[in-house]
Amino acid sequence: MIKATQLRKEFPLSRQQRKELNTTDTIATAVADISFDCQPGQIFSLLGPNGAGKTTTLRMLATLIKPTSGQIEINGIDAIQHPQEARKHIGFLTGSTGLYARLTPIEIIDYYADLYQVQSKQREERKKYLFDLLNMHDFLHKRIGKLSTGMKQKVSICRTMIHDPSVVIFDEPTSGLDVITAENIIKLIRDCKDQGKTVIFSSHIMSEVDLLCDELAIVHRGQLKFLDSMITFRERMKANNLTEEFIRIVQAPITTP
Amino acid sequence: MIFRIFRKELLDTLRDRRTLMTMLVIPILVFPITLNVFVEISKSYEESASKETMKIGIVGDKNQYYTAQLQQIPESVGPKKIRVFQDSAALRKALDQDQIQLGLLVPTQAAIQRKNQTPVNLSWLLDASEVGRSERSELYSSYFKAKAEFQRLHELGLSPDQIKPLSIQTINCASEKKMVGQIAGGFLPYIFIAFGFIGCMYPAIDLFTGEKERGTIETLLTVPVSRWKILMGKMLVVVCSGMVAATCALLGLFVSIEFLDLADNKELLEVIHSILTPYFILSMFALLLPLVIFFAGLMIPIAIYAKSFKEAQSIITPLNILVVLPAMVGFFPGIALDFQTVFIPVVNVVLATKALIAGTLSWAYFLAVFALMCTLALLAISLSYRQFGKESNILN
């Protein structure tokens, strides 16, 4: 499970950035004290427009960057104090994830299996399972640079799942992908849920969220605008459809306690 | 885990044609090709110049005294044709139009001067920018001089020894090894340093900036391996590449000298062989290794900071000049390793290698240079680690 408490991330602004943003502030708050829990066997979705703070939040959860303040627990491990221990439980995939073009899929998978210290027996089982599931056998020994986008995405998924993580973080995983490749990702997210994994994914596409998620958090300008189940979201809906409701919530004035 | 990262990065690097070119192909081939081409071109120029028929114009040689001498000079010196001119203006014009290649001005009083046993001043007119002309005129001059001196001594009834009341010799007490060290010692460290730097450059950019550009850095940094281990694995590849490039360059130079018949001086070859002992090679690598780590440690923070391959290249390339310029200090005579130069990075390695070749490097200086370079290498690693840990640098 994932437990985020009062998570905050501030970035210093350079003179150039201050000029571009037309502000005198020396600090930009990307995420402002947000808290949420993601339970195993559930899909938690972070929804928000571009620049809302979704990627920053997920990067903090994946231990890529440290929060300015707040706490993160991954399966009960303090991810800020013990990031390496927490990483063993995490699989992280983004839509912009790249691969080493000069290596083959099998070389990449073996490399990451080594980095995650996956034992040889478990590794062979996982490789067989994932290669069968994703139908990767035909291009395992071809260089990544010669693969199609869909094939590359399959390799990325395989790399993310090789150590059988119990927490899976997807940052806009379908962004820029064609329909068939995006469908593979959606299937993977569902599979993860069925296997009892904790799944968190970010998106700015309401239809995708509607299709998958159990719990929903809407973020805008680093702040939580909505946090509840998808069922509750639908029940409380004031607009005609989900997308309009999302826009309505995002555009609502920020209420200060 | 460091070794696993190193293995993967090495495999990735070895599959990059650009890196392979700078790490292996160019260093190995640059000296055999360039030296061979250079030697062949200069040989062919010399040959063609010696075979070229020189048209020589003469002015003022009334009784054809020097014309006859010129004709007596054997053809083995080079073929020639002689043409007599009425005045120096006509001769100069012919020279300008390349109708003749050499012009000889004989003073009008030459016969009287010879009779009076006073010096005769002959002048050669030539275009010195053309290959072989100065050399040919000097050859002819030496014939004239020898003939004139012999004749004058004969007239005076003197033997050559009688006009040499004093003979002074200079005896060079330096060993041949030391002489080679002094003359060629600057070249070897220059090659080592220049190629060590170039060898580090592309892998450093590819393994750090490239990782950001490709979007692979995010996934790499979410594995349960500490960042310093990731940095070390990558840095090892950069250092290896620099060392391999430097070694290949030296190997190429050695092959050129040994097998391409570029140094046909047997004594020189023997001296080179006596220098290339296992002790020398080990000592040189001991000096080079911390230097290459230092280079890698300078390049990696730049590569981490840069957002694109182009940006990294545009910052690191000028750095190359900063490194290569001090490496040229070995070419200047008189600069040696002392209490001041030992503290100047790059310069100290150049001068230490030069002294090592000459066999004059003391242990104290060797250890001082080694210790200083190791300290700088550690500082550079620490700088790389600090940059690699910065969130703003690792994520675009």
The tens digit of pLDDT for each residue in B217-231 reads: 888 888 999 989 999
- Say whether both A76 and A120 belong to one domain: no
The tens digit of pLDDT for each residue in A114-171 reads: 999 999 899 999 999 888 888 888 899 999 999 888 888 889 889 998 999 999 998 8
Does residue B263 surpass a pLDDT of 80? no
CATH number of the domain at A57, please.
3.40.50.300
φ, ψ for residue A75 (rounded to 5)?
A: 50, 40
- B317-322 — which CB contacts under 8 Å span 24+ positions? B320/B197, B320/B198, B320/B201
How distant is the Cα of A15 from the closest Cα of chain B, in angstroms? 15
Question: What integer pLDDT is reported at residue A257 of this predicted model?
Answer: 44
List CB contacts (< 8 A) between B212 and chain A. Answer: none
What's the average model confidence in pLDDT over B89-107?
A: 90
Question: What integer pLDDT is reported at residue B29 of this predicted model?
Answer: 81
At residue A22 the predicted structure's pLDDT band, cuts being 50, 70 and 90, is: confident
Question: Poorest-confidence range of A212-216, A218-222, B260-264, B376-380?
Answer: B260-264
Question: What integer pLDDT is reported at residue B125 of this predicted model?
Answer: 92
> Is B11 in Cβ contact with A107 (below 8 Å)?
yes
The tens digit of pLDDT for each residue in B203-222 reads: 999 899 988 888 888 888 88
Question: What integer pLDDT is reported at residue B294 of this predicted model?
Answer: 92
Question: Poorest-confidence range of A51-60, A201-210, B275-284, B328-337?
Answer: B328-337
> Is A103 in Cβ contact with B11 (below 8 Å)?
yes
Question: What integer pLDDT is reported at residue B175 of this predicted model?
Answer: 74
How distant is the Cα of B239 from the closest Cα of chain A, in angstroms? 21
Helices (H), B169-277: 176-184, 187-204, 210-214, 217-220, 227-259, 266-275
Chains A & B: contacts with CB separation below 8 Å: 69
The tens digit of pLDDT for each residue in B331-367 reads: 777 777 888 888 888 888 888 888 888 778 888 888 9
Of A145, A142, A143, A174, nearest to A157 (Cα)? A174
Question: What integer pLDDT is reported at residue A254 of this predicted model?
Answer: 58
Fold of B54-163: abc type-2 transporter like fold (3.40.1710)
- Rounded to an integer, what distance in angstroms lies between the CA atom of residue B44 and that of residue B49? 8
Does residue A43 surpass a pLDDT of 80? yes
B225 touches chain A (CB under 8 A): yes
Question: What integer pLDDT is reported at residue A142 of this predicted model?
Answer: 93
Q: Give the chain A residue nearest B207 (alpha carbons).
A: A100
How distant is the Cα of B303 from the closest Cα of chain A, in angstroms? 18
- Say whether both A70 and A146 belong to one domain: no
Question: What integer pLDDT is reported at residue B58 of this predicted model?
Answer: 92
State chain B's mean pLDDT as an integer: 85
- Residue range of the domain that includes A110: 97-160
- Rounded to an integer, what distance in angstroms lies between the CA atom of residue B64 and that of residue B14? 73
Model-level pTM? 0.79
Q: What's at A250, amino acid-wise?
A: V
Question: What integer pLDDT is reported at residue B236 of this predicted model?
Answer: 94
The minimal CB distance from B223 to the residues A85, A97, A115 is found for A115
The tens digit of pLDDT for each residue in A178-193 reads: 777 778 778 888 888 8
Does some domain include residue A257?
Answer: no
Q: Where are the domains of chain B?
A: 2-33+177-394, 54-163
- Rounded to an integer, what distance in angstroms lies between the CA atom of residue A211 and that of residue A181? 16
- SS3 state of residue A74: strand
- Say whether both A58 and A184 belong to one domain: yes
Q: What is the ipTM of this complex?
A: 0.87
Which residue, A113, A139, A160, sits at the end of a domain? A160
More confident residue, A203 or A105: A105
- Say whether both A34 and A72 belong to one domain: yes
Question: What integer pLDDT is reported at residue A141 of this predicted model?
Answer: 93
Give contacts of B 362-391 with A, CB under 8 A.
Answer: 391
Structure tokens at A77: 């491990």
B224 touches chain A (CB under 8 A): yes
B222 touches chain A (CB under 8 A): yes
Mutation for A interface: B8, B14, B222, most A CBs within 10 A: B222
List CB contacts (< 8 A) between B223 and chain A. Answer: 87, 112, 115-116
List CB contacts (< 8 A) between A111 and chain B. Answer: 4, 8
Show the beta-strand stretches assigned E in B70-157.
80-85, 102-105, 123-126
Question: What integer pLDDT is reported at residue B395 of this predicted model?
Answer: 67
Does some domain include residue A101?
Answer: yes
Question: What integer pLDDT is reported at residue B34 of this predicted model?
Answer: 78
- Say whether both A135 and A64 belong to one domain: no
Of B282, B316, B281, nearest to B296 (Cα)? B316
Q: Residues with Cβ < 8 Å from A80, sequence gap 6 or more?
A: A66, A67, A71, A72
Q: Give the chain B residue nearest A12 (alpha carbons).
A: B392
Question: What integer pLDDT is reported at residue B7 of this predicted model?
Answer: 92
